[in-house]
Structure 1
Amino acid sequence: MQSRSHALPVLRSRRVRRGPAAVVSAVAVAALTTAVPPATAEARTDVALEWYDATAETIAAAGAPTQSTNSRTWAIGWLAAARALRATPSGVDVRDYRDAALAGAVHTTLVTLIPARAEDLDARLRRTLERIPDGPAEERGLAAGAAQARTVLAAREGDGLDPASVNVAFPTPEPGPGIWQPTPPAHSPGLQAGNRRARPFLLERADQYRLAPPPALGSPRYRADLAEVRAYGSADSTVRTALQTETAAFWYGSSLTLYTGPLRVALARLDRPVAERARLVALFHVALVDTQIATSDSKYAHLRWRPVTAIRSADIDGDPATEPDPDWTPLHTTPAHPDYPSGHATYSGAAEQILTSLVGARTAPFTLTSPTAPGVTRTYTDWRTLTRENVDARVWSGIHTRTADTAGVVLGRQVARHTLQNAHRLFR
């Protein structure tokens, strides 16, 4: 028991373990068609799902106020787990070792980054360890996972993804046609501007996939965008349907929260070795961190005003065809950062690309609920529908133009493809 007491001195009684975890190589893979077999009395607990849930619940209970910081926590923990699972030492039970390694990696990451949840996480680890026989497989796996977590944590130290760095003060630009300004009702200064200064996991630079400028003011595309959001995104719209209003509300909250469910579905149904399943979760969140960095770069490079500003200030956009409406109000409150591109859409594009490449485009039906649409349950059979709904939802909420949404999907997919093409750099 010496190696365990050295790795985790507060946990001297028992083991680790967690079933499969994550994904294929950096290129595509087979479609996800295998259903999870029915549980039996002898069925072994899936440690990958156990610690996936532990990660999600820990972040929900005491995570950071910034989405990119929480994505970073996911990425570090599951990257450490995937690295610990690359090889199994000879002379030990393979599954016991892998379960212990996965739990050790994720546990060490979470208690380090979210120490307020240490007591709960320690209890979870004890429960996992109690299911693994004492011996070298458990001890060596636990030690390997913890060691990989410490290595990744050290490598990411000072990467600029902490809340203070992400939300570093951004000076409001001088007002002008098309230029972002703080939006009602709070008129808060720009948030998340610091993401563009953070160190990516795999991107070479934050501006590596910077989007081309948004449509010129007064152009046909600009007019169409503004006319659509003015009509369908207004708080008192007479053309938006009840279903469209529901969609806007469903996707109004954090995309990180809503994509936790679909990723878990993919993880549960992926009938592959635990190392590949851990890679799925790791690559998903590595792509999401880098996507958020790239999103911030394009947002603050182009500084395009939000629809509420554009519609209320149409008299200064130089286009006589657009009339100002100083009382226009969007269905939902506009977030405090520029319009182009939509962060929700970049997140969706990246998530769709990772899931499609690594588990296939379609899956058996699964349901999803949303904290911003109480009582609503939606059923999906593919990942792209989630992306389409995100694009529509931000327009119907009145907080993004359609061009900002569609451009965001393109950016997210580009970053995700880059992640997959360069995944070998994470696991060497």
Structure 2
Amino acid sequence: MRKGLFKRGPGSRKSVNAAVVVMSVAVGTTAAAPLAPGQTASDVALEWYDTTADTVNAAGIPASAQVTKNRMWAISWLAAARAVRPELGAGQSREYEQAALASAVHAALSDLVPSRKAELDAALDRSLERIPDGPAEDRGVRVGREQAHLVLAGRENDGLDPASVNMPYQPPQPAPGVWQPTPPAYGAAIQAGARYAKPFLLDDPAQFRLGPPPELGSERYRIDLAEVRALGVAGSSVRTEEQTRTAKFWEQSTQVAYTGVLRAALEQSRQPLFKRAAMVAIFNVALVDTQIATSDSKYTYTRWRPVTAIRAADDGDGDPNTTPDPNWTPEATTPLHPDYPSGHNTYAGAAEAVLTALTGVRPAEPVTIGSSTAPGEFRTYAKWSELTAEVVDARVWSGLHTRTADEAGALLGREVAEHDVRMASQLLR
């Protein structure tokens, strides 16, 4: 566990370049090239990626349990990667690989979302209809199902169901700096139980716990709160139109946004099927572990949200003339959990680290995504780090987080993800 804000303990973090070296053997990097063997016009990986997205979206998982959605992705695609890994697929035809991937994802999702069995069965039928009947198809179906059942058994009772993630939480007694339910709903805290869940690759949820946030009254605290007070207020007169649009764009769920980002990386990849399936699996494994680690840091420090601090007029400067602003309202509605670190930014930092390790610092072609909270707007990114930088700013301009909480979140996400990339071979064998 690390001590002190932004400090790293010995050996707690290696560079992204080190992660690239380690994972190049297991996963490889993305580059524009002709289609790899087994990657046809009917791309089984993209086909089942889209089926997974449709299934997860239809599962009825509440927004407060976003990590449960990443768990579904991680389980189904970890099964797929194992089913087509070289040890099992050596000497097998592309027909085997396609049947194995489709059957693995199908079997896992059918268990996780039984209400979608009819749709999943139909999707599997479509995939298998393109594969000639014979031993390769039969073995692929069998191995895919076996791997799905093994992964599911290994994740049973892991504490990532919505009820466990959102277990009841009794907030601390009100005090300066301490999180309390926020307006307008003043609802119960969410995601407090994720810190007790079983990680995929972390030794412990607290393995990369952040150091404490800035002390109340410190220079950094005053700067942070002054920035969000001016730029994050609803209808701010100093926030530019572009800043407002950016804030609105990133009100959306990061899980939803990065589903599109990862799909673009998968579509651009010209790597063999195993490496492409492994990319999807590792991405979601890292995002599960990141959200567990996020809950650990959030509920260790229980730092109050900007709306609570500003309405209490605690700018931390000791100025007796500081005027409370009991009507201060952020541009966006504050989520019901502590400020430090920002969950949007732990997600962004982790996604950036995985994609950088497995594809390089930039996609083969710029990636364009939309937003459920800014209909009709699309943004294009030429580097993975550009998304993170934008999310850091957006959550300040939304009035939801201090910049310290955003930057610390991105750091935490990167550290967890880089660790998981280094350790991923443990899950892929």
TM-score (norm. length: structure 2): 0.90
Within-5 A mapping of 1:322-401: 322-363=322-363, 364-401=365-402
Amino acid at match of 1:282: A
Offset, 1:319: 2.8
- The whole-number CA distance in structure 2 between the counterparts of 1:91 and 1:332 is 52
Maintained 8 Å contact 1:352/1:387? yes
Maintained 8 Å contact 1:31/1:362? no
Offset, 1:57: 1.0
Offset, 1:366: 2.5
Partner of residue 16, structure 1:
none
Structure 1 position 423 matched with structure 2 position 411: no
SS in 2 for 1:237: coil
Offset, 1:378: 1.1
Could you tell which deviates more after superposition, 373-382 or 198-207?
373-382
Partner of residue 68, structure 1:
67
Maintained 8 Å contact 2:89/2:97? no
| Structure 2 CA distance for partners of 1:83 and 1:24, relative to 1, 3 Å | farther
Maintained 8 Å contact 1:345/1:387? yes
Could you tell which deviates more after superposition, 241-250 or 361-370?
361-370
Offset, 1:92: 7.0
Within-5 A mapping of 1:222-233: 222-233=221-232
RMSD: 2.0
SS in 2 for 1:347: helix
Structure 1 position 27 matched with structure 2 position 23: yes
Offset, 1:181: 0.3
Partner of residue 265, structure 1:
264
Partner of residue 20, structure 1:
none
Partner of residue 10, structure 1:
none
Offset, 1:316: 9.1
Amino acid at match of 1:346: T
- The whole-number CA distance in structure 2 between the counterparts of 1:261 and 1:88 is 30
Q: How many residues align?
A: 402
Offset, 1:35: 5.8
- The whole-number CA distance in structure 2 between the counterparts of 1:46 and 1:139 is 20
Offset, 1:26: 4.6
Within-5 A mapping of 1:18-57: 26-28=22-24, 32-34=30-32, 43-57=40-54
- The whole-number CA distance in structure 2 between the counterparts of 1:167 and 1:90 is 40
Amino acid at match of 1:175: P
SS in 2 for 1:221: helix
Amino acid at match of 1:176: A
Identity of aligned residues (%): 59
Offset, 1:169: 0.3
After superposition, give the CA deviation of every residue in 1:200-225 in whole Å (9 maximum; x if it has no partner): 00000110000000000011100000
Amino acid at match of 1:405: D
SS in 1 for 2:382: strand
Structure 1 position 182 matched with structure 2 position 181: yes
Structure 1 position 58 matched with structure 2 position 59: no
Q: Which runs of 5+ in 1 are unaligned?
A: 1-22
- The whole-number CA distance in structure 2 between the counterparts of 1:89 and 1:61 is 32
Q: Which runs of 5+ in 2 are unaligned?
A: 1-18
SS in 2 for 1:190: coil
SS in 2 for 1:69: helix
After superposition, give the CA deviation of every residue in 1:376-421 in whole Å (9 maximum; x if it has no partner): 1111111111101110110000000000000000000000011011
After superposition, give the CA deviation of every residue in 1:306-348 in whole Å (9 maximum; x if it has no partner): 0000000125967327542111000000000000000000000
After superposition, give the CA deviation of every residue in 1:342-391 in whole Å (9 maximum; x if it has no partner): 00000000000000010111121221110100111111111111101110
Within-5 A mapping of 1:195-206: 195-206=194-205
Amino acid at match of 1:361: V
TM-score (norm. length: structure 1): 0.90
Maintained 8 Å contact 1:178/1:217? yes
